[in-house]
């Protein structure tokens, strides 16, 4: 099984999810997405795998959210995805991918079904 985690090492939830994976004997591919953000196409695919919308995946408490007026209902999904690619701090974390399934590790125990 191949598992990938979009990880932020300064996030306690992300760190806990990584610990859960490692304790289960899984060495995931770790992508520190603030350093290596997903492309537009990758993020669009991840959102599809999550079975969510871009609004479900965007972090509303981050500064770029208000600065870019991302709460505006006139913005398209494409515009929101582009904003997250340009400002990866806006992407919910952590996101774990496994065999075509994606979950957001909030709470961290939500990833247990994957392992």
Active site residues: 11
Are 57 and 104 within 8 A, CB to CB?
yes
Token reading at 8: 């932020």
Q: How many Cα atoms within 13 Å fall on the side-chain side of residue 88?
A: 18
Phi, psi of 70, rounded to the nearest 5 degrees: -75, -10
Give the DSSP letter string of 33-89.
TTTSPPPHHHHHHHHHHHT--HHHHB-TTSHHHHHTTTT-TT--HHHHHHHHHH-GG
């Amino acid at each position: 099984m191949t598992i990938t985690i979009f990880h932020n090492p300064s996030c306690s939830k992300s760190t806990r999810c990584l610990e859960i994976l490692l304790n289960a004997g899984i060495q995931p591919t770790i992508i520190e997405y603030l350093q290596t953000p997903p492309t537009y196409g990758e993020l669009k695919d991840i959102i599809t795998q999550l079975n969510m919308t871009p609004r479900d995946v965007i972090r509303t408490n981050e500064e770029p959210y208000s600065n870019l007026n991302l709460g505006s209902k006139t913005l398209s999904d494409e515009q929101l995805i582009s904003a997250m690619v340009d400002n990866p701090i806006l992407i919910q974390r952590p996101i774990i991918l496994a065999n075509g399934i994606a979950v957001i590790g909030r709470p961290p125990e939500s990833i247990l079904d994957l392992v």
